[in-house]
Amino acid sequence: MSRSVARGTALIAIAVIAIAALVLLPNPSFKQANHKPNDDPWQLVSYDPDTKYGTYLGNGFISTRIKGDGVGCQDGQPLPCFMSGLYDDEKLIPTPTWSDLRFYDDKQQFKIDKKADYRQVLNMKTGILTTYATWRAGEKTLKGKIEVIVSRARPNLALIYAQLSPDFDGEVRAVAPVGAATPGLSGFDMERGNGDGSVLAFNEYRTAHSGITFLLGKRLTGTPHSERKYARLDALEVRLAAKPDNQITVSSYAVLVGAKDSKQAWDTSHKEIWFGNEHDALIDAQKAAWAKLWKRDITIDGPRKDQQAIHTCMFYLLQSVREGSHWSIPPMGLSDNAFSGHVFWDADLWMFPALILQHPELARSIVDYRYQTLPGAIANAKAASQAGAQYAWESGYTGKEDTPEGLSYREERHINGDVTLAQWQYFLATGDLNWLKTRGYPVIKATADYWTTRAKFNPTKKYYEILQVVPPDENAELINNSAYTNYIAQLNLRVADQAAKITGNTANPKWAQVADGMYIPLDMSAKRFIAFDGHKPKWVAKQADSELLIYPLQYNNNSQSITDIYKNTFNYYSKRVHRNGPAMTNSAYAVIASRLSDRSRAYEEFTKSYRPYFRGPFNYFNEKRSTMYENMCFLTGAAGPIQSTIFGLAGASMDYFPSDPNSTNLQFHPCLPKEWKSLKLTGVQWRGREFDVEVTTGDRVKITANHE
């Protein structure tokens, strides 16, 4: 059965099985004409081989950058590749570039003929990037396609696959360079050989400081083989017989394996390098893995650009995380190592909520990273003469504070509360009591203990306050009594008290004492929060700050004036934010406007959360409206439109302090914009149940349970 309800509260109900049919996409035609703006919901297309943006392919473990040349190299320069967790001296470092593939005749390299038809297609439904072009060396040409696949099904495996038709008699040399060791790595050639018509190489690398060992294995094969032999030291090479209209194929496989045990790494790499021996099997596995992910989709019956934007943001985010990992997500994912590939509040407060209701098994890596780095956070607190754990504003391999010395950002102590909120949301969404006892509670307890010493009692004013911190509005630098920091500290303490009861532990009595006495800066005459001590009306914030107490913190003082506090805070501070601040502000505003039933404003902020930030034909997400950081995929921002849709326009909300933590406390209060006829969330996960949520005109909600 299913049920519909008017705007208000829609509780989870058991209903009939919903079967979703996959949309079959036509094969792209190889044609270059007058190109209309692309608004396809599943395919992003470039007609410019000189695009400076390109895209990023990954599977949550390994990644590569691709631009107009269609491989991991542009204009002769290798593009970076990364591996999750490959930190040295707390900095994420690139792996050797494994995704380069080049073609030569006897004299020169085949390069893309920019006067010929060219089309590059990113299929977000399958995670496959295909470049259709003509490659020219003098009078000779190769016409066809190159595919790049970073396997979602096999986390260690990737493939560059070429199908090319020559227009000449002769020989083609396919060359896959063996990437040189990058700074921070030492590497050496371990094994080379030929077998089964392939040429292989396995290289072992080790980080200079952290002592991480990983193997890079490469295998190159092609048909039809030339009779001539091949031998190179700096690259793998196969030679192929070329005849007019007789297609040649080349497969370049790469395997990256990291392990503490060297033998295990070698065994895995040798096994994986041969998995892709059948090209079709690898492609089938790739399509099946992505089809499984896309069963949990967001479907918009409205402007196609909105749907494309949601799929783009989901695609880039899903590429950056995987089940079973214990690494979190840096702001740029694995597209770049900007900010040293460090983990910030971006992962816990902005990316995590975009995953938790549809992909809790993927979101878990974000919270488990904080458990893994808890010893580093405890060491940070001890160094600062504080109790418990002090999570680093920027952390890498160990959790040690690695924000550059001298920057005030090191004092963004709200990170402790951000970490705890994600831990608590994970438990509320999954109901995993064993996880809470063994992983979540140790983190929650340690962060709460920190606030018992970091917050200081003011005997004159009779409250606890937190001094000399940097709020989310980093323009403010060091201030006292940040409304956001003080409230999330209070939230942290109350979560710890609740978690102790659930897990059967004894709560620290200081938690309730400090929480109850915490000063929350609130101007009751104006009915709005005070951002921080000394805040001036003309102050322009870097990004949303006090507004975040409305969402995601869901401040509630149990008074009848709470709605007025929300409205006045939002109206006041949203006019005082820098226009070129980070992308997250608009996505938070879309949720807040939705919860205030401002339908027009909610949709306006939703579109602002993605339109000014997309770059290039593949919607590469920029951090700001300006040109800063333009060639990195800012996943913090990309998660924003997803949050806006799930927690704003679809109206999902979870009660952080339900009277019964085992109760169904997920509700839907939708705010469907007039531009959309309907909105559907498929594969919502809540405490072991799966269901679809559909919102239609009039904010009617239909919930259908899935039984698989």
* CA atoms of 156 and 151, how far apart (whole Å): 8
- Give backbone dihedrals phi and psi of 362, rounded to 5 degrees, phi first: -85, -40
**Joined tokens for residue 528:** 């709005």
- 474 part of the active site: yes
Contact 220, 198 (CB under 8 A): yes
CA distance 59 to 675: 34
The kind and range of the H/E element at 676 are none
For 521, the enclosing helix (H) or strand (E) is: none
Q: Which residues contact 509 (CB under 8 A, 6 or more apart)?
A: none
Question: Angle at the Cα of 299 (from 158 to 650), degrees rounded to 5?
Answer: 120
Task: Locate 455 and state its tokens.
Answer: 């917050």
Q: Of 237, 394, 623, 694, which is the active-site residue?
A: 623
Euclidean distance between CA atoms 489 and 420, whole angstroms: 10
Q: Rounded CA gap, 123 and 136, in Å? A: 26
Taking only Cα atoms into account, the Rg of the chain, rounded to an integer number of angstroms, comes to 27
Task: Report the C-alpha gap between 395 and 340 in whole angstroms.
Answer: 9
Residue 47's H or E segment, with its range, is none
Residue 83's closest CA among 458, 397, 519?
A: 397
Amino acid symbol at 93? I
| Catalytic member of 465, 474, 630, 675 | 474
Does 623 participate in catalysis according to the annotation?
A: yes
CA dihedral (195, 288, 426, 559) positive or negative: positive
Q: Which of 149, 158, 397 is nearest to 269 (CA)?
A: 158
Longest dimension (CA), the chain: 91
CA distance 150 to 155: 8
Beta bridge partners, 614, equal: 621
- Residue 55: phi and psi, rounded to 5, are -145, -175
Backbone angles phi, psi at 662, to 5 degrees: -90, 0
Identify residue 445 by its one-letter amino acid code: K
Kindly provide the residue ranges of all beta strands, DSSP E only, lying in 182-271, ordered along the sequence: 185-195, 198-207, 213-223, 235-242, 248-258
With CA atoms as reference, report the closest residue to 365 among 297, 437, 288, 423.
423
CB burial class (10 A; 0-12, 13-18, 19+) of residue 534?
Answer: exposed
HSE of 245, CA atoms in CB hemisphere, 13 A = 0
Active site residues: 474, 623
